[in-house]
Amino acid sequence: MINNVVDGDISSIPADAMVVGLFEGDKITADVISCVDKALDGEINKLIGNGEFKAKHSESSVIHTLGKLPVRLVVILGLGKRKEFSPDKLRNAVAEICRLLRKLNCQKITMAPIGSDVKGITIADSAKLIAEACILGLYNFDKYKKSEEKAIDEITLVTEDSSRLSELSNAVSKGVTIAEAANIARDMVNEPANFMTPGNIVEVAEKIAEKHNLQLKVLDVTDMQDLGMGALLGVAKGSIEPPKLIILQYHGDESSAETIGFIGKGVTFDSGGISLKPSKGMGDMKGDMSGAAAVLGAVNGIAGLKLKINVTAIVPAVENLPSGTAYRPADILKSMSGKTIEVISTDAEGRLILADALSYALKMKLNPLIDLATLTGACLVALGTEYAGAFSNNKKLIADVIQSADNAGEHLWQLPLAQEYKELNKSQIADIKNVGGSYAGAITAALFLAEFTDNKPWVHLDIAGVASSDKEKGYVVKGATGFGVRTLIEFASLSSKEGGKYEN
């Protein structure tokens, strides 16, 4: 879709629409936009002069060229104030404009490297960000219902500087790889639970492994029994769908013995089990495998970028349903770690499956560990739909993860792994219980997970509030957001450059 970069004069290239950017308060001086303005007999200047177009962020004006240029439409895209600009502002504005042009039935679009040379954004950064924005913003899940709008076939980035062609096409293909990785996760999450069973997640992992020639290991029930994964097996008991533990390995750095572990909660449907959820909104729980989708999408992206790093994704995949064979409140489960867990609620299943997945990650000596999970409604209550909760036992690691999220335009907010609340998880009859009471639910869930990390460097991201969106805004569309994929790719990229070692 956005596949090519060409050099030349954007005003001479035929297309349905051409997009140029403008900052608030900027004069139209000697650059791309002034050539276009001249060809349009000063129309853009008039729009600004009479106050019709103020170049506010994401504001746009569509001008019909009436044959004065080889494009049907010229679109000026407002970028807001220069001093408030950021990479994410660029992504959001470009995504919005792409969707507008799709509505206007444009199939072929040319675009200048909008928003470059501002706030440290280089022309290559701009190319990468534009590519990401186009692919993320135009995403729709139309597998089961064809959308009425025609897809945009081609977005061409046009540079005046022919010496930078290959640099810019590299940047574009990076952006494409990253955004496509997020869209893999979005596809998985948008699939309903009857088409995204644990077995279907395995199929996705198989496709990724095949495409990039990665090692894939899938544990089934008997393997889990041999390993003593009583927590994961307990959750699985209510469903006829057999649980899977997926281990997908990318080896990009033969010279290193270190491997990062990404662990993703893969509950393909969370009905709550015997502690059944209310029916209102229960369908949203098809997205309870968003963590799994994020870690698999990220590995696909990291392999696509050929980053010099080793990464292993671990996905416990299971369906949480009530039935005559389901696990119950008050059951005691014996986890792989040896710790026994009293089940207070069968709806606090995420922490149970992650406990065994973390033990498996420790057995594989992965370091650091980063888990992503739609773990608690409490996190949604605390931080809303824009910020994921972040917990860690290692200062440098969490700083690096937050930095990575920042680069990706994904918001994390650190919450305390408050030792004062550890006692809330104490059980009368087992080593620990799976619910810590009604207060600080996101924290007690994180403290529960911490018990299974052997105090190795670890970050837990509670993505319950951010994994899906009920509105369209910038490059976020309705449905799955793909949250976490781009943060994890950024983190792998940062680690590949800095060789980040973490010790506790």
Does the footprint of ligand BES cover residue 35 (CB under 6 A)?
no
Residues that bind Zn ion (CB under 5 A): 267, 270, 288, 347, 349-350
418 is written with which tokens?
Answer: 């408050």
Query: Which residue's CB is nearer to ligand BES, number 197 or number 374?
Result: 374
Instruction: Answer whether 228's CB lies under 8 Å from 313's CB.
Output: no
Q: Give dist(CA 284, CA 287) in Å, integer.
A: 6
**Interface of this chain with ligand BES, residues 465 to 504, rule: CB under 6 A:** none
Return the residue of 60, 110, 367, 374 that touches ligand BES, per CB under 6 A. Answer: 374
Instruction: Pick from 398, 435, 477, 492 the residue near ligand BES by CB under 6 A.
Output: 435
User: To the nearest whole angstrom, how small is the minimum distance from the Cβ of residue 212 to Zn ion?
Assistant: 29
Q: Does 371 bind ligand BES (CB under 6 A)?
A: no
Binding of ligand BES at residue 291 (CB under 6 A)? no
- Tell me the helix, strand and coil percentages in the chain, rounded to 5: 40, 20, 40
462 binds, among Zn ion, ligand BES, none (CB under 5 to 8 A by kind): none
CB of residue 350 vs Zn ion: minimum separation in angstroms? Answer: 4
Q: Which of 270, 319, 331, 490 binds ligand BES (CB under 6 A)?
A: 270
Q: CB-wise, 385 or 407, nearer to ligand BES?
A: 385
Is residue 96 near ligand BES by the rule CB under 6 A?
no
Q: Which one of Zn ion, ligand BES, none is in contact with 377 (Cβ closer than 5 to 8 A by kind)? A: ligand BES
Active site residue 433: no
The only residue of 158, 378, 405, 446 in contact with ligand BES, by rule CB under 6 A: 378
Task: Tell me whether residue 286 is one of the annotated catalytic residues.
Answer: no
Query: CB of 488: closest distance to ligand BES in angstroms?
Result: 19
Query: With CB under 6 A, what is the number of residues at the site for ligand BES?
Result: 16
Task: Please choose which of ligand BES, Zn ion, none residue 113 contacts, taking the beta carbon within 5 to 8 angstroms, the exact cut-off set by kind.
Answer: none
Cα–Cα distance, 483 to 490 (Å, whole number): 13
Classify burial at 118, counting beta carbons within 10 Å of its beta carbon; exposed 0-12, middle 13-18, buried 19 or more: middle
Burial class of 142 by CB neighbour count within 10 A (0 to 12, 13 to 18, 19+): exposed
- Active-site option among 277, 308, 339, 396: 277
Smallest gap, in angstroms, from Cβ of residue 289 to Zn ion?
9
Give the burial string for 11-21 (b: 16+ CB within 10 Å, else e): bebebbbbbbb
Task: State CA 71 to chain mean position distance.
Answer: 35
CA distance 77 to 134: 14
Count of residues making up the chain: 504
Q: 441 contacts which partner out of Zn ion, ligand BES, none, CB within 5 to 8 A by kind?
A: ligand BES
Q: Rule CB under 6 A: is residue 268 a binding residue for ligand BES?
A: no
- Residue nearest ligand BES (C-beta atom): 377
Find the binder of ligand BES among 44, 133, 464, 492 (CB under 6 A): 464
Q: Is 58 in the site for ligand BES (CB under 6 A)?
A: no
Q: Determine which one of 186, 351, 433, 486 is catalytic.
A: 351
What DSSP string describes 242-270? PPEEEEEEEE--TT----EEEEE-EEEEE
Distances (CA, A) of 178 to 127, 153, 184, 201, 305: 13, 19, 10, 20, 8
Does residue 293 touch ligand BES according to CB under 6 A? no
User: What 8-state DSSP symbol labels residue 272?
Assistant: -
Tokens representing 271?
């009905």
Q: Provide the β-strand partners of residue 370.
A: 262, 459
Residue 462 in contact with ligand BES, rule: CB under 6 A = no
Q: How far is the CB of 261 from ligand BES (least distance, A)?
A: 21
Beta bridge partners of 18: 74, 110
Which of ligand BES, Zn ion, none is residue 378 near (CB under 5 to 8 Å by kind)? ligand BES
Amino acid at 346: T
Q: How far is the CB of 34 from ligand BES (least distance, A)?
A: 50
Q: What is d(CA 289, CA 277) in angstroms, rounded to the nearest whole number?
A: 17
CB of 272: closest distance to ligand BES in angstroms? Answer: 6
**Footprint of ligand BES on residues 318-357 (CB under 6 A)?**
345, 347-350
Six-digit token string for 119: 């706030």
Contacts of 463 (CB under 8 A, 6+ apart): 290, 291, 294, 372, 373, 374, 375, 388, 483, 484
Binding site for ligand BES (CB under 6 A): 270, 288, 345, 347-350, 374-378, 380, 435, 441, 464
Catalytic sites, residue numbers: 277, 351
